Amino acid sequence: MDSFVAPERCITCSDEGLPMRVTELPRADGIAICSDESGADQEVAVDLLEQVAVGDEILVHAGVAIAMACRPETGRRQERMTA
Amino acid sequence: MKFVDEYRDAELGRAVAGEILATVEPGRHYKLMEVCGGHTHSIYRYGVDDLLPENVELVHGPGCPVCVIPMGRLDDAISLSHQPNVIFTCFGDMLRVPGSHGTLLDAKAEGADIRMVYSPLDALRMARENPDRDVIFFAIGFETTAPSTALTLKRAKAEGLTNFFCMCNHVMILPPLRALLESPDLRLDGFIGPGHVCTVVGARPFDFIPVDYNKPIVIAGFEPLDLLQAIQMILQQLKDGRCEVENQYARVVPTDGNLRALEVMSEVFALRPHFEWRGLGFISQSALKLSDAYADFDAELRYEVPGVRVADPKACQCGEVLKGVIKPWECKVFGSACTPEHAIGTCMVSPEGACAAYYNFGRFAREREVV
């Protein structure tokens, strides 16, 4: 029997993007506290986003926020998927 | 959680699978490539391909950053890790990728100070905490990851750190896509576009695929419903005789990408004239190096590296897998000599590699089919 356990996602980085919610505004060093899918707090660099507010949903890759979720330009087809 | 749960809804999934069935033309075979390794992983993990009609075939593309690193670059990395007074840092997947004389994990066992990091910012922190040591970060990844490296180097420069270095292996997804489209080996009907790369570069750079090659592409998210919907959208384009870039992942992908990230990248990086991709060979202007303004942080300028090109192991067919010419299970060593525990090829190392994704999840479905 295989002893290898398949990881949930790429162990570290590759091309994953983790959805997180901003829970504390960024400090002077650009690090904000965000909660991940499991509710755990994570430190995330948000320098690459225009502006973040508490409650914003962001996409995080390798400890850095790369995108803000739920844009106003959300398309017609996308809306069908919204619960 | 918002933006996750609603994209795993089984009832909606069945409805979209029904739409796909209604969209395909019987008697026509559809070959669609998912460019991104993250998509490959999701397809096998959630069994998305089990919901597709038999005449819709998914082909795995070159979008796993670990899988495309050539062996020679690994040898260079291992050589750097053995330099005295160096702390060598990298993402965890790289530790098990075989070079010509072993892995970074083997080098660690031999005494090299190699540490796994989750973010390049962790490596920067180590440099701050160890001012008497040189800290090298082994940077890999597509445009999704390059901004985090660029941001880290910008911070290192602003802080005046002189003991932080980067071995840059960042690659870009568009040049290999163009190379694949030029390849006579592969006939594709459409592409599932790499959603996370597009959060950075936007949707616009993919215009050449419909314009120059007459193929549809739909940028997609990574949840099972995202993938099913993207497949339906590609098939709908083919049915309607349309050919365009569509954005299924509009909840995070803006048309123009992340301008701040692109700005930081253009400050920190410069194009390499050419770069070797595992299985695909040398591709012009397909990778990044540090710009002149950041040359002081370049590990390859600070230390000498062998820089020797090493051919892939003969038994390994990662190249054909990466080009989508063969399926993982068609490789001679798949599942026998090459497993995630003892990988010969890079596609078996990263969970996003097509072989590992198939080995971990897909083979069970196939075994059921064969029985």
| Overall pTM > 0.95 | no
B291 part of a folded domain: yes
Q: Supply the mean pLDDT for chain A.
A: 74
> Is B267 contained in some domain?
no
Kindly determine whether residue A78 and residue B41, on different chains, have CB atoms separated by under 8 Å: no
Binning pLDDT at 50, 70 and 90, where does residue A14 land? low
Instruction: Answer whether A4 sits within 8 Å of B340, measured CB to CB.
Output: yes
Q: Is residue B62 part of a domain?
A: no
Partner residue opposite A48 with nearest CB, options B122, B197, B258: B258
CB-CB neighbors (< 8 A) of B237 in chain A: none
Q: Which residues of chain B have pLDDT under 70?
A: 1-5, 352, 362-371
Q: Which CATH class is domain A18-70?
A: mainly beta
More confident residue, A29 or A4: A29
Q: Where on the phi/psi map is residue B281: left (φ > 0), alpha (ψ -120 to 50), or beta?
A: left
Q: Which one of A11, A69, A77 has the shortest CB-CB distance to B233?
A: A77
The verdict on residue B147 lying in a domain is yes
Structural domain includes residue B354: no
A14 vs B: CB within 8 A = yes
CA distance B33 to B114: 36
DSSP calls for A23-83? EE---TTSEEEEE-TTS-EEEEE-TTSS---TT-EEEEETTEEEEESS-TT--HHHHHH--
Residues in chain A with CB shorter than 8 Å from the CB of B197 are 15
User: Cα B177 vs. chain centroid, distance in angstroms?
Assistant: 12
Q: pLDDT, tens digit, for every residue of A47-65? A: 999 889 999 999 999 999 9
Query: How far B284 CA sits from the closest chain A CA (Å)?
Result: 22
In chain B, how many domains are there?
1
The better pLDDT of the pair B324, A28 is held by A28
Tell me the residues of chain A between 61 and 80 that have a Cβ less than 8 Å away from chain B.
61-64, 66-71, 73-75, 77-78
Cβ–Cβ < 8 Å for B122, B130: no
pLDDT at B322: 76
Which CATH number does the domain housing residue B144 bear?
3.40.50.11740
Q: Which domain holds residue B116?
A: 71-170+281-302
Tell which A residues from 37 to 56 touch B, by Cβ distance under 8 Å: 37, 45, 47-50
Strand ranges (E), B4-92: 30-36, 56-63, 86-90
In chain A, what are the domain boundaries? Answer: 18-70
The per-residue pLDDT for B306 is 92
Nearest CA distance, A57 vs chain B (angstrom):
8
pLDDT at B63: 75
**Residue A40: its pLDDT value, please?**
92
CB B232 within 8 A of CB B19: yes
pLDDT at B367: 58
Phi and psi based region of residue B270 (left: phi greater than 0; alpha: psi -120 to 50; beta: remaining)? beta
Nearest C-alpha in B relative to A62: B119
> Is B92 in contact with B116 (CB distance < 8 Å)?
yes
- Name which of B275, B274, B276, B279 is nearest B347 in CA terms: B279
- Closest Cβ opposite residue B6 in set A2, A68, A81: A81
Residue A7: the pLDDT is 44
pLDDT of residue B164: 98
